[in-house]
Homo-oligomer: A and B are copies of this chain.
Amino acid sequence: MILEKKKGFHDFTVAKGLRSTRQRDVILDIFLSTHQHISVEELYLKIKSSQAGIGYATVYRTLKLFVEAGLAREILLHDGQTRYEHVLAGEHHDHLVCTGCNSIVEFEDETIEKLQNEIAARHGFLIKSHKMEMYGLCANCR
């Protein structure tokens, strides 16, 4: 799966006439090795600690490329930080965010997805994407 993503990104850069650089490889490797929902800062720190000498700006620029290439997705939660999560083909999930420990649990519910489509249709909307987040306390923090 990681290999697929690497290939996906490679194909994307080729198609777009972009270059393959050491920095992009490192950032992709580290991004793929992380768990979901990493913030730019967290990612930057991981990269920094790998001694690769890569700047903040490059991390930002590269993450945007990942989004364009379809392998990452931006998520905005309720703190001022943009996070990125992996896009897994065909899969969609939503988030349960614990306001106690900031942990994030993912879930997927087909019935909700269906209802969303019905609601959209009722309003004449053509849905491209959606997001749903629930905030509360997880089992540990209650």
Contacting B at CB under 8 A, from A62-97, are 76, 78, 96
Query: Which listed segment binds B: A28-36, A50-58, A111-119?
Result: A111-119
Distance in Å from the Cβ of A128 to the closest Cβ of chain B?
A: 5
Distance in Å from the Cβ of A75 to the closest Cβ of chain B?
A: 10
A134 lies within 8 A of chain B by Cβ: yes
Q: Which residues of B contact A126 (CB under 8 A)?
A: 136-137, 142
Query: Within the complex, which residue of B78, B109, B132 is in contact with A76, where a contact is CB–CB below 8 Å?
Result: B78
The 8 closest A-B pairs by CB, nearest first: A124-B139, A130-B134, A127-B136, A132-B132, A128-B136, A126-B137, A126-B136, A125-B136
Q: Which residues of B contact A130 (CB under 8 A)?
A: 132-135
**A99-B128, A128-B136 provided; 14 other pairs, C-beta below 8 A?**
A96-B125, A105-B123, A111-B115, A115-B115, A116-B132, A116-B134, A120-B136, A123-B138, A125-B136, A125-B137, A125-B138, A127-B134, A129-B134, A129-B136
